[in-house]
């Protein structure tokens, strides 16, 4: 695999050197305090590229690397961020070019490849569990709903916007669409639905038997089962990991029951589900893994 750098851009920027599917040395970040969750909101794309370059230069041994992989939220193709609901100022930015300019001559010959942030999590999980020879998919449950796939394939892959209901009242998705998975499961969507309760309070009251919350928790799990079943019917069975801040709410038994109702074709029943932790480290490894498997002659 060689030696490369992985970068994750989400609530903050984190960079690390990866060698043989393992992080080596200390990571660098902007801002340094992980408790600051909105430092990138509103920063122009050029400034974010410069901050990524600064984080990379802080890494010991960053010279002589063979590849550079970076994960961003949104729809990313050919190093262009076509849309990014969580960092809206990045929409339409030629991020590969901005990064090459920010990194300068020292990294002129290093291939730079940008990926969706959920895809690098899937690649990191595949690498850390020795599953690089099979399909791995991951749901990231947070303010939005991310969907990552390994091996990486070109495409949109915005499965968080999978339509899981035809009810016209389901209009809480951040993109404005009706019936979307994110409109049921996303943190923002849950707050809009329950104006009087935080998401953790909804699940707590469901455990205590409050009818409204019990019914929503069933809907929440059925929506995730529907999104997973759709992926299975399109891409085949395999391993599904579930991560993110709201993975703590997942009841695997309930989710499996709903999924078993939806996937009946025998060749498609070889799937499995697992809730995981480990955010930034897994993402950095995955960004580097994906970049290492990208054609190295493909330039920005």
Q: Tens digits of per-residue pLDDT, 64-84?
A: 899 999 999 889 999 999 998
Percent of the chain with pLDDT over 70: 97
Scan for tokens 């495409």, then name that residue.
155
User: Confidence band (pLDDT; 50, 70, 90) for 201?
Assistant: very high
- Token readout for 238 is 């395999």
Residue 84: count of CB within 10 angstroms of its CB: 22
Look at 28-37, 114-123, 174-183 and tell me which has the smallest mean pLDDT. Answer: 28-37
CA distance 157 to 235: 12
CA distance 112 to 95: 10
Say what the pLDDT of residue 298 is. Answer: 46
CA distance 116 to 144: 13
On the question of pLDDT at 226 being above 70, the answer is yes
Say what the pLDDT of residue 299 is. Answer: 46
On the question of pLDDT at 244 being above 60, the answer is yes
Task: Report all structural domains of the chain as residue ranges with CATH numbers, in order of start.
Answer: 3-116 (3.30.420.40), 122-275 (3.30.420.40)
Say what the pLDDT of residue 289 is. Answer: 94
User: Confidence band (pLDDT; 50, 70, 90) for 277?
Assistant: confident
On the question of pLDDT at 300 being above 60, the answer is no
Kindly report the three-state secondary structure assignment for every residue of 55-106. HHHCCCCCCCCCEEEEEECCEEECCEEEECCCCHHHCCECHHHHHHHHHCHH
Which one is predicted more confidently, 291 or 38? 291
Say what the pLDDT of residue 278 is. Answer: 65
Nearest residue to 122 via CA among 142, 139, 103: 139
Say what the pLDDT of residue 167 is. Answer: 96
User: Confidence band (pLDDT; 50, 70, 90) for 63?
Assistant: confident
184-196 burial string, b = 16+ CB within 10 Å, else e?
A: bbbbbbbeebbee
User: Confidence band (pLDDT; 50, 70, 90) for 154?
Assistant: confident
């Amino acid at each position: 695999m060689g030696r490369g750098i992985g970068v994750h851009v989400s609530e903050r920027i984190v960079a690390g050197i990866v060698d043989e599917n393992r992080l080596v040395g200390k990571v660098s970040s902007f801002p340094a305090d992980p408790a600051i969750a909105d430092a990138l909101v509103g920063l122009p794309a050029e400034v974010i590229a410069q901050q990524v370059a600064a984080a990379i230069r802080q890494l010991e041994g960053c010279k002589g690397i063979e590849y550079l992989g970076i994960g961003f939220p949104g729809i990313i193709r050919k190093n262009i961020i076509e849309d990014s609901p969580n960092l809206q100022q990045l929409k339409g930015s030629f991020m590969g070019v901005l990064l090459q300019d920010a990194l300068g001559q020292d990294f002129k010959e290093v291939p730079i490849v940008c990926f969706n942030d959920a895809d690098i999590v899937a690649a990191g999980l595949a690498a850390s569990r020795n599953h690089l020879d099979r399909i791995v998919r991951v749901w990231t449950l947070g303010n939005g709903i991310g969907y990552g796939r390994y091996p990486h394939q070109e495409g949109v892959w915005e499965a968080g916007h999978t339509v899981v209901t035809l009810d016209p009242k389901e209009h809480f998705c951040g993109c404005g669409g009706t019936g979307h998975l994110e409109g049921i499961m996303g943190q923002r969507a849950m707050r809009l639905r329950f104006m009087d309760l935080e998401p953790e309070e909804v699940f707590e009251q469901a455990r205590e038997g409050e009818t409204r919350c019990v019914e929503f928790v069933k809907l929440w799990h059925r929506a995730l089962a529907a999104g997973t079943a759709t992926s299975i019917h399109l891409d085949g069975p395999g391993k599904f990991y579930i991560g993110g801040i709201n993975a703590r709410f997942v009841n695997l038994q309930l989710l499996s029951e709903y999924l078993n109702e939806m996937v009946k074709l025998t060749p498609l029943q070889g799937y499995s589900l697992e809730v995981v932790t480990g955010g930034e480290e897994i993402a950095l490894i995955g960004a580097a893994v994906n970049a290492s498997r990208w054609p190295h002659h493909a330039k920005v």
